[in-house]
Structure 1
Amino acid sequence: MTFSSGFSVISRSEPTQLQVILRRGGIAESIHRVYVVVSDGQGRVLMSAGDTGFKTFIRSALKPFQALPFLSSGAANQMDVGDRGIAISCASHAGTNYHAREVFKLLWKAELDPSQLQCPVPVYGNSPLQHNCSGKHAAFLATSHKMSWPTYNYLQSNHPVQVEVVRQVAELLGLSADRFVVVRDNCGAPTLRLRLVQMALLYANLGASQHAELGQISRAMLAYPELVAGAGRFDTELMRLSHGQVLSKGGSEGIQCLSRIGEGLGVAIKAEDGSRRAKQAAALYVLRKMAWLTPSSLQKLEEQVLVLTTGVSLTVSGALQSHKNA
């Protein structure tokens, strides 16, 4: 994969997206437009490509924040789930026996049954434990059980556990909870429509380690990256190769979020057409420009996640704007 030159300072009135171009035999075949926002912990945009206010659904990149009530309620501590239980609650996992067992253990410690999970049974699977969102659902159930909230309707947007998720996200963003557009995700749980700058701010907070529960969540994800996604998957391999310095969580339809641990910087990426390869190529571009990974680690990550056939290449063009007055 090739990249254009580094940062440039461009007028904020002329935002330019990144373009990820797939070429076959040197001829452009597909072009993906990608938005990027880099924010600090105060929500100030430091760098961007495209409209920083672009609104879209955060999808599974919300999961670390959906895990907040699991910790703040005391459920995770009472159950003594440790970092493994917290990591699987944030996961978009591969549905392997390894992942399903971890979800089962979380439910068992809460004295709950897998039949109470309301995420779908995946295609070619035989249990909701194998669904990639089962850890999140198990944490919702465990929190509800601990708080004596009903468990049969834990996915409803007016259920106390979902209300608490929105309340805590709103608090992190400095907004009123009634400002959010809340819709159903593919797994049945609510997700939020946010501006990219808001997603970047959430991840800046996640990596800053100044919020007790967020600090626990980031440490757990980095301690057990294989639970967060799975071997060969972008989030897992990036966190492994960063040696605990970069936190990564993606979502469907072209969402990718990153955080630099200890620096209070967050990144939100959206491929406008929902392309996975485009968001991953853009993430590699950002990691290179921000120097968050060594060149050798970037090369390894690219080889693991962007597998292209002979004669096919990906090129990222465009530039990140530097916001001088942020």
Structure 2
Amino acid sequence: MTRGLRNPAPELEVQLLREGILESTHRVTAVIADHRGRLLTQAGNAAMSTFIRSALKPFQALAVTSTGTIERYGLTDRDLAVICSSHHGSVEHARQVFNILWRCDIDPTALQCPTPPDKDSPLQHCCSGKHAGMLAVAQQRYYPLETYLHRSHPVQKLIITKISELLGMPADEFIRARDDCGAPIYSMPLIQMASLYAQLASGEHLDLERIVRAMTYYPHLVAGEGAFDTELMRMTEGELVSKAGAEGIQCISRAGEGLGLAIKVHDGAKRAKSAIAIHILRQLGWITPPVAETLSEQFMKLSPYKRLEVVGDLTML
């Protein structure tokens, strides 16, 4: 699924300026691909491989939307949104995750994500929704709950099978590791991440379309107030679906266009990926000037003395 790769184009840079004087620089690779895996635009090397981290969550949620789990337990789009989330651990988020487990008759002690240091329960972990979704599928299929995070567990096999089908490659070719929450995570080229997101919002897959609807209807459940994903989806009113991942990963797609954007900040800086995303979305015309200005005020002007600035543009192929 890497058709159309070209020689690497110049990378982008995010510069931290203190009263206009350069203090730090972050290097960034960014890729746009279509739903067929064709490279359309790049900055840096589109074949660069890295872990997709939490940007994979909408595709891990396919195990929920494609198995009848939603229908059996009467789960809602609010539940599906939090299954796709990297949430802030608020009371609302924790209650929504609890609602999934309660409807599926699963005790919250079955969650194997850790309790965050400043919290009281695994329900408040940023990945608890994803874990609740995996447990729900295991319960619906009568799979063991105790081992739902094992790579050989049927739920994990189902997830990677769905992803491999979307990318048109064998499941056993993925490089696997453990995410911080304990669930399996996969490394892949940025062009594959972009292609996954192109398919997410293409409108050609009913199960993915439901995931997009849930995320864009309830963006505050996908992250939380003040988070980039939440603010971008809220301001674009369903046109864009956005999901961040740790270590500088950001993926975005535009509903109905079959195009996906994948970003990797090489040093993993969280602040840089938001700045790059705003810069690229403005260049593509995916956000209006007022939305771009509002997002820039929130995510690029860090203090009265510090701001972020992006150097470079995507190379159009």
> Quick one: distance in 2 between partners of 1:18 and 1:205?
25
SS at match of 2:28: strand
> Quick one: distance in 2 between partners of 1:178 and 1:166?
9
Gapped runs of 5+ residues in structure 2? none
Q: Tell me the TM-score normalised to structure 1 length.
A: 0.94
> Quick one: distance in 1 between partners of 2:297 and 2:126?
24
Per the TM alignment, residue 14 of structure 1 is displaced from its structure 2 partner at its CA by 5.0
Question: Quick check: 1:256–1:279 contact (8 Å CA) kept in 2?
Answer: yes
SS at match of 1:316: strand
- Alignment partner for residue 270 of structure 2, among 259, 262, 276? 276
> Quick one: distance in 2 between partners of 1:272 and 1:113?
40
> Quick one: distance in 1 between partners of 2:301 and 2:131?
32
AA of the residue aligned to 2:96: E
Q: Show the counterpart of 1:6.
A: none
- Does 1:247 pair with 2:231? no
AA of the residue aligned to 2:95: R
Q: Show the counterpart of 2:96.
A: 102
- Does 1:136 pair with 2:130? yes
SS at match of 1:208: coil
- Alignment partner for residue 34 of structure 1, among 28, 39, 48? 28
Per the TM alignment, residue 13 of structure 1 is displaced from its structure 2 partner at its CA by 3.3
- Does 1:318 pair with 2:315? no
SS at match of 1:183: strand
Question: Quick check: 1:257–1:267 contact (8 Å CA) kept in 2?
Answer: yes
- Alignment partner for residue 159 of structure 1, among 153, 160, 171? 153
> Quick one: distance in 2 between partners of 1:77 and 1:170?
25
> Quick one: distance in 1 between partners of 2:22 and 2:220?
35
Alignment of 1:63-102 (within 5 A): 63-102=57-96
> Quick one: distance in 1 between partners of 2:301 and 2:137?
40
Per the TM alignment, residue 79 of structure 1 is displaced from its structure 2 partner at its CA by 1.1
Percent of aligned pairs sharing the same letter? 50
Question: Quick check: 1:233–1:305 contact (8 Å CA) kept in 2?
Answer: no
Higher mean displacement: 50-59 or 23-32: 23-32
- Does 1:192 pair with 2:186? yes
- Alignment partner for residue 116 of structure 2, among 90, 100, 122? 122
> Quick one: distance in 2 between partners of 1:120 and 1:14?
39
> Quick one: distance in 2 between partners of 1:72 and 1:255?
26
- Alignment partner for residue 217 of structure 1, among 192, 199, 211? 211
> Quick one: distance in 1 between partners of 2:299 and 2:117?
23
Q: Show the counterpart of 2:164.
A: 170
Per the TM alignment, residue 306 of structure 1 is displaced from its structure 2 partner at its CA by 3.5
AA of the residue aligned to 2:31: V
Per the TM alignment, residue 92 of structure 1 is displaced from its structure 2 partner at its CA by 0.3
Q: Show the counterpart of 1:4.
A: none
Question: Quick check: 2:28–2:265 contact (8 Å CA) kept in 1?
Answer: yes
> Quick one: distance in 2 between partners of 1:14 and 1:90?
32
Question: Quick check: 2:301–2:307 contact (8 Å CA) kept in 1?
Answer: no
- Does 1:229 pair with 2:220? no
SS at match of 2:201: helix
Per the TM alignment, residue 310 of structure 1 is displaced from its structure 2 partner at its CA by 1.8
SS at match of 1:182: strand
CA-to-aligned-CA distance 1:11-52 (integer Å, 9 cap, x gap): 943521000011113221111000000011111111110000
Question: Quick check: 2:15–2:310 contact (8 Å CA) kept in 1?
Answer: yes
Question: Quick check: 2:301–2:308 contact (8 Å CA) kept in 1?
Answer: no
Count of residue correspondences: 313
